[in-house]
Amino acid sequence: MSKRRNTKGVWIRITAIGLIVVFIGGYIMQSFFSLATMRKNKTADNEQVTHVNIPFKAQGVVNIYEGHPGGALLYTGNIEIADNDTKRAQGLMYRDTLASDQGMLFIFPKEEMQSFWMKNTRISLDIIYINSEGKIVSIAKNAKPYDETSRPSLEPAQYVLELPGGTSDALGLGKGNVVSWVEADQ
């Protein structure tokens, strides 16, 4: 009888230890998956906390021509101008909309390889890289919202024009087209 009681006690201890291991393992797995989900949703959570829609404010007009400034006019629209580090860093982040005749022109101090990403950008964009002579050198088409993938220019650029995603294809814009702009009197 005593041997049977000992065997029963051993099985109770084994069962209790097994349950403890299962509960601890479940807690660790739950913590792991919660942490993974938090990391995955970090951008979206930050976005909800900082959600602000910045309205468009026209600061100039941009024109895109086929081949040269006297060529066929392919596009005209209003632009905001990002001509300093703060404005270039902000770009079109936190915008809910961008009309088909609106965009942002980034002006850099010198011509060099440029690269853009879509961090905190809610709308799809065409990123048009322009050299110091005003010619389009490459276009990153339909950049996806919130995508942090780097989209580099294929050649050195001094200017970058962002337009709503799909504009380049809709208008047949491409390498060699010429971009000019006039800033509005402030």
3-state secondary structure 72-83: CEEEEEEEEEEC
* pLDDT in the model for residue 49: 44
One pLDDT digit (tens) per residue for the chain, 186 residues: 555 567 777 888 888 788 788 778 777 777 666 655 555 555 444 544 456 778 899 999 999 999 877 889 999 999 999 999 999 999 999 999 999 999 999 999 999 999 999 999 999 999 999 999 999 999 999 999 999 999 999 999 999 999 999 999 999 999 999 999 999 876
CA dihedral 92, 98, 102, 108 (to 10 degrees): 10
- Is-contact 142 166, C-beta < 8 A? yes
* pLDDT in the model for residue 11: 81
